[in-house]
């Protein structure tokens, strides 16, 4: 099992097994989605150069199958993501540079909001046609996102009818757009990318082929203790790498 540059802990492994048994977006039909506003949390945290040009669109392309599925079923997609680690509103971390590439890959004109909550977002969401996409501004422009503030989560959820999480890279974090909104939106299901990663993770950890070797890397050993302890009971070989081997 290779960590693949993702930070996760024991709680995430347990959550992954549980989520894998729940509904995914593929179980939703046109009757569930047509005309419905879907709050889709994706991971669009792509690298940008100094000219605000995308240097690697892998994460954008990975989100496309779920978005296209929703659009084909007549849903109205409200797309949310973070980008970087801004401290408040920081122009260089705006999601605006992603709009042209998203529009190109989806074959529809993606509408961009100047915020992720508020009156403008409410109006744009209300005007969104079936098969339309509204991209919200960086959710981490608000400190309430990472604090999983209930009121902030409620505001995010207020413009949608149901929730799809396709942001596997941040799914282990209890943030407003990944966990908080699920208290206000039903159903809350996994997207295709999320389901694919969960299926892989469950297969690799819950029922591994032997001999089983695990490679765990990263810079913070403190955040890996739980997963290391969990893996020790399952693996034949555990290999540690990255900055943590010096701590």
Written as one string, the DSSP assignment of 167-236 is -GGGTTS--TTTTGGGGT-SSEEE-HHHHHHHHHHHHHHHSPPSS-EEEE--S-GGGTHHHHHHHHTT-S
Structure confidence at residue 210 (pLDDT): 87
Residue 55 placed within a domain = yes
Closest CA to 82 of 43, 111, 114, 36: 43
* Gap between the terminal Cα atoms of the chain: 22
Consecutive 10-residue averages of pLDDT for the chain (247 residues): 41 48 77 95 96 96 97 98 96 98 98 98 98 98 97 98 93 90 94 87 77 82 76 88 78
Tally DSSP H helices, then E strands, for the chain.
9, 8
Structure confidence at residue 198 (pLDDT): 81
Verify that 213 and 150 share a domain, yes or no: no
The domain containing residue 124 runs over which residues?
25-190
CA-to-CA distance for 247 and 230, rounded, in angstroms?
Answer: 20
Verify that 166 and 49 share a domain, yes or no: yes
Question: How many domains does the chain divide into?
Answer: 2
Structure confidence at residue 234 (pLDDT): 84
Verify that 179 and 233 share a domain, yes or no: no
Residue 82, by phi and psi: left (phi above 0), alpha (psi -120 to 50) or beta? beta
pTM: 0.82
Structure confidence at residue 22 (pLDDT): 53
């Amino acid at each position: 099992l290779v960590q693949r540059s993702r930070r996760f802990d024991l709680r995430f492994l347990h959550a992954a097994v549980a989520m894998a048994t729940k509904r995914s977006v593929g179980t939703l039909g046109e009757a569930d989605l047509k005309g419905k506003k879907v709050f889709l949390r994706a991971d669009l945290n792509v690298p940008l150069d100094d000219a605000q040009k995308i240097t690697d669109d892998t994460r954008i392309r990975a989100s496309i199958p779920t978005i296209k599925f929703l659009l084909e079923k007549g849903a109205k997609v409200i797309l949310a993501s973070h980008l970087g680690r801004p401290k408040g509103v920081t122009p260089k971390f705006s999601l605006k540079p992603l709009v042209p590439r998203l529009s190109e890959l989806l074959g529809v004109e993606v509408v961009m909001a100047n915020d992720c909550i508020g009156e403008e977002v409410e109006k744009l969401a209300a005007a969104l046609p079936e098969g339309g996409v509204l991209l919200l501004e960086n959710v981490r422009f608000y400190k309430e996102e990472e604090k999983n503030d209930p009121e902030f989560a409620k505001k995010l959820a207020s413009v949608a009818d149901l929730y799809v999480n396709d942001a596997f890279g941040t799914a282990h974090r209890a943030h407003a757009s990944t966990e908080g909104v699920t208290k206000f939106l039903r159903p809350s299901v996994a997207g295709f990318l999320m389901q694919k990663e969960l299926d892989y993770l469950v297969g690799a950890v819950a029922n591994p082929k032997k001999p089983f070797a695990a490679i765990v890397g990263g810079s913070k050993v403190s955040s890996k203790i739980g997963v290391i302890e969990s893996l020790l009971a399952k693996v034949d070989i555990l290999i540690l790498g990255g900055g943590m081997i010096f701590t």
